[in-house]
Amino acid sequence: LACAFAACAFTVALWIRYGYGGLLDLLLNHNYRPDGKKIESLRPVSFPFGSLLDMMNNPEKTRDRMIEIARRNGGMVVVWEAFSPVVYAFDLKHINLMWNTDFTLNKTDRSLLPSLRTKLLLGNSLFTLDVARWRHLHKIILRAGLGSRHLRGVFPAVCDGGDRIWMKIDKAVQRALSESKKNHVEALGLELNPGIELHPFCREFAISTITSVIFGDAIDEKQGLRLGELVDFFVRKGVNNPLYAIPGATYIPFGESRKVMQTIREIQAIGDVLIQQRSEREAREEVKRDAGDDADGPSRRVGDGPASTSIFDNLKAEAEKGNLSYDEVLDNVYGLMAAGFDTTANAISLSVTMLSLHPVVQMKVRKEIQAALGKGDGSCKDLTYDVVMSSTDLPYLNAVIKETLRMLPPAVKLPARILKRRTEVNGFSLQRGSEISTMQYQTSAMKEHWGGNAKHFYPERFLGEGGEAWNVSKAEGSHPSGLASVLASARTLRLCA
């Protein structure tokens, strides 16, 4: 009996490991290639998580398998995320078509179920609404100071945040040098090379700068550190946990699920405190203005309106006009905080990491910045907004940031869209209800797009150097929005860098 039971258990285990994916393909995968065959799915598929566990535990191997499947299937592959088939596009001609305005606004909608924790945190913000409500809110948010045309107004906050963090980094380096001397490193004839962990500084910069842009003031250091810890925990345990791809898992009342819910409430509580502090400051300023004083000094202008001092002020003004509810103002404040901190910190941290791993590239960037400073009196104030954002003054820095985003995108994939009806995409027939997405992390390793050195850090590819090793201009010329969408955040990150 024991042997029979063991044999049954072994058979069930084998089926779960190798037969489950075939059953899902048979019953739920109705996405077809131009030749009439089903789009091949990524294997192995495990119950009940699909391919999520394998993608998290073996990212490099999974990436290579996905690329090979995409090559056999005309640039697309199906990935099972729990019970949902997600169609990932890898060919730029598919990406260009699937992420244009008509496709995203008219043929697809947001896929909210896999992002239920995010929905609980962000509420009815710009990041979670369906298309119908997104159209309305998007126009309001752009007026409130989030459009690319408002980047110039953000620049002072970036500079202030950079100055504060640089002083802290300098002190940390000095402490590390002092400790090295205490350990008699010099007496041993070794070169002093103190190591410090930069990511916490990058995260603090992201938090202080983004809160400054949202509220007009930098966040209190203690609040900032706590907020950074909370967002980091939420991303690691609430977003990147495959358990939550299963419906209902979010509401498990114990273990990590309970901690994630507590984290969401604490993030929102800190947001409420910041909103209260901003409102109190605004009241003090109004009293001083009525008394003829200069209040607390000029506030940083972010939006276009004559009275606009921060994104929060602008959103609140929209609420007073009846364009937003106050709950929507709060939800969008939470959304900007939660969506911006981690991605910005990671992007900057990864850029610094790539520079540290490639000293020749680092030297080129340093010389270019020194040359830009040399046009003035040599101080950092000469790095104006126009200089930083220019493609002619700092072309190599621009290329380094783009290459970092290409190889190590802060978000490895675009948020999934769900098809409203059966749709044709370059001959592929995709079923209604299928989710579609693309993975920057995978496309960045494809030699079809980036040449034979696709897996190597090579900023020169964006400067037209290297012959066969790059074909960026060719790809951008053929698909004007394909690579642009993958590298869309390069403009803002250059400002932060």
Nearest-angstrom CA–CA distance, 68 and 363: 37
Q: Which region, left, alpha or beta, applies to residue 254 given φ > 0 means left and ψ of -120 to 50 means alpha?
A: beta
Reported residue count of the chain is: 497
Q: Which region, left, alpha or beta, applies to residue 190 given φ > 0 means left and ψ of -120 to 50 means alpha?
A: beta
Which residues of the chain carry a pLDDT beneath 70?
A: 1-19, 111-119, 180-195, 240, 242-251, 292-309, 375-382, 465-497
Looking at the DSSP assignment, which residues form a beta bridge with residue 109? Answer: 418
Question: Of the candidates 385, 308, 280, 372, which has an alpha carbon nearest to the alpha carbon of residue 145?
Answer: 308
| Phi, psi values for residue 412, rounded to 5° | -70, -15
| Angle in degrees, CA 223, 229, 232, rounded to 5 | 135
| Phi, psi values for residue 140, rounded to 5° | -65, -45
In a 3-state reduction of DSSP, which class is residue 245?
helix
Three state DSSP letters for 95-145: HHHHCCHHHHHHHEEECCHHHHHHHHHHCCCCCCCCHHHHHHHHHHHHHHH
Q: Please tell me the predicted confidence (pLDDT) of residue 429.
A: 94
Q: Is the pTM of this model over 0.95?
A: no
In a 3-state reduction of DSSP, which class is residue 39?
coil
Q: Please tell me the predicted confidence (pLDDT) of residue 13.
A: 53
Tokens 């955040």 belong to residue: 489
Q: How do residues 332-370 score in pLDDT, each as one tens digit?
A: 888 888 778 888 888 999 998 899 899 999 999 999 988
Tokens 């998580």 belong to residue: 49
Tokens 């498990």 belong to residue: 252
Nearest-angstrom CA–CA distance, 367 and 256: 48
